[in-house]
Structure 1
Amino acid sequence: MKQAMDVIFDFLVNVVCHRIGVGVLKLFSGGRFEGESGYAWGFALLVGGLVLLAPFAAFISWLIYAKV
């Protein structure tokens, strides 16, 4: 059962990261980015992952800065 949940979670994270990355890259490219080929799909996944992780990195940086 754990393996099935890992596959489902991995699929959901990939889809969410890809959709966010495509949205951000479409915004930056004026709507011309599609994100469907191999390289573009991976690049959109990378950008989406960075966008999703940025709030956590900012929060940890703030905690370090505030010395909490």
Structure 2
Amino acid sequence: MDFISDVAINLLAHRIGSRVLAFLSGGRFQGERGFAWGFAVAVGGLVLIVPLVAFIAWMIHTGS
């Protein structure tokens, strides 16, 4: 079961990262092989985690 969730998150991060990088590169980024796949997953993972980090930072800021 853990494998299925890892694959789902990996594919979601790749799709989001590919879209973001394609937007930033004017549509030239494909992200289909090797380093490009990993780079797209890393960018997508950052995009997925940023709202959570911002929410935690906001909660810490308003709590003090």
TM-score range, shorter chain: over 0.9
CA RMSD of aligned residues (A): 0.9
Q: What is the CA-CA distance between 1:37 and the residue it aligns to? A: 1.5
Matching residue of 1:30: 26
The alignment covers a number of residue pairs equal to 64
Structure with bigger gyration radius = 1
Consecutive unaligned residues of structure 2, counting only runs of 5 or more, are none
Consecutive unaligned residues of structure 1, counting only runs of 5 or more, are none
Normalised by the length of structure 2, the TM-score is: 0.97
Normalised by the length of structure 1, the TM-score is: 0.91
Which 4+ runs in 1 deviate beyond 2 A?
A: none
- Give per-residue Cα distances to partners, 1:6-57, cap 9 Å, x unaligned: 0100000000000000000000000000001210000000000000001000
